Amino acid sequence: MYGHDAGGTRYSPLKQINTANVSRLQRAWTYHTGEKGRSLESTPICVNDTLYFSTQNQNVVALDPVTGKEVWKFANPNPRGSESRGVAYWAGDKQTPPRILFGTGNGQLIELDAKTGMLVSSFGDKGILDLRAGIADAYPKANYAISSPPVIYRDVVIVGPSTQESGSVGPSGEPRGFDVRTGKLLWAFHTVPQPGEEGNVPSTLAVASSCVADNAVP
């Protein structure tokens, strides 16, 4: 998974490449995305002999990791906003084949069939879940992006957005968990406790005043 493990430690226990042979590494192949205007910030993941990554314009590519040959490429129908830094992989189960999930710069969560790169019609609205709905409705121009890969825990896909860095009000940045098969909202965590939730303390304004009689000595 992205970052190697659920904690995102980015530590690899592999020992084939080490301090004794790293200087002898040579390029095996090069893949060109054919996209311009942005730097490639994605970290590929390799699962079951397939390399998956997102591109500058928020498309997704699957490659043969040995040859660099393209297996499939998903063309994002609405690429807007910030770059995508990678994708997440869900292994599936006996009824459901493996999936690739990734977020977009305009607040969408997209699910693809890991083998074909096709949108999964049973997820969200024909494979695309609008994360802005119900969260950013009052702030149509505010930034609400999913730049980092989602986290997969069992059958739950967890996302946390990137929100605006300026302005006093805007959409909530609360993390949410969705059913990985359907896109149904399972839970949301309010980073700022709402009324009735533990940790919510009503704001109060305390005003202190002192009165001194006209004939009092300070």
Local confidence band at 210 (pLDDT 50, 70, 90 cut-offs): low
Q: Which residues pair with 157 in a beta bridge?
A: 152, 178
Most confident of 6-20, 40-54, 198-212: 40-54
Per-residue pLDDT tens over the stretch 38-86: 788 899 999 999 999 999 888 999 999 999 999 999 998 877 766 788 9
Pairwise pLDDT comparison (116 vs 41), residue with the higher score: 116
Pairwise pLDDT comparison (168 vs 69), residue with the higher score: 69
Which residue from 142, 187, 181, 125 is spatially nearest to 160, judged by alpha carbons? 187
Mean pLDDT (the chain) is 87
Residue 199 pLDDT greater than 60, yes or no: yes
Give the pLDDT score at 29: 97
Residue corresponding to tokens 């390399």: 51
The predicted model gives 113-136 an average pLDDT of 94
Residue 26 pLDDT greater than 90, yes or no: yes
Local confidence band at 206 (pLDDT 50, 70, 90 cut-offs): low
Give the pLDDT score at 111: 97
Amino acid identity at 207:
V
CA atoms within 13 A on the CB side of 6: 6
Instruction: List helix spans (H) across 42-155.
Output: none
Give the pLDDT score at 203: 62
Q: Which residues pair with 125 in a beta bridge?
A: 128
Q: Would you state the CATH architecture of domain 1-7+42-194? A: Beta Barrel (2.40)
Q: Which residues pair with 130 in a beta bridge?
A: 108
CB neighbours (10 Å) of residue 25? 8
- Return d(Cα 176, Cα 161) in angstroms, integer: 9
Give the pLDDT score at 208: 59
* Domain boundaries, given as residue ranges, for the chain: 1-7+42-194
Residue 202 pLDDT greater than 80, yes or no: no
Give the pLDDT score at 182: 96
The predicted model gives 7-14 an average pLDDT of 87
Give the pLDDT score at 141: 85
- Return d(Cα 124, Cα 109) in angstroms, integer: 9
pLDDT > 90 in the chain, percent: 53
- Return d(Cα 162, Cα 67) in angstroms, integer: 35
- Dig out the tokens for 46 from the structure: 């390799």
100 alpha-carbon distance from chain centroid? 12
Residue 164 pLDDT greater than 70, yes or no: yes
Pairwise pLDDT comparison (72 vs 196), residue with the higher score: 72
What region, left, alpha or beta, does residue 12 occupy, with left being phi > 0 and alpha being psi -120 to 50 degrees? beta
CB neighbours (10 Å) of residue 179? 13
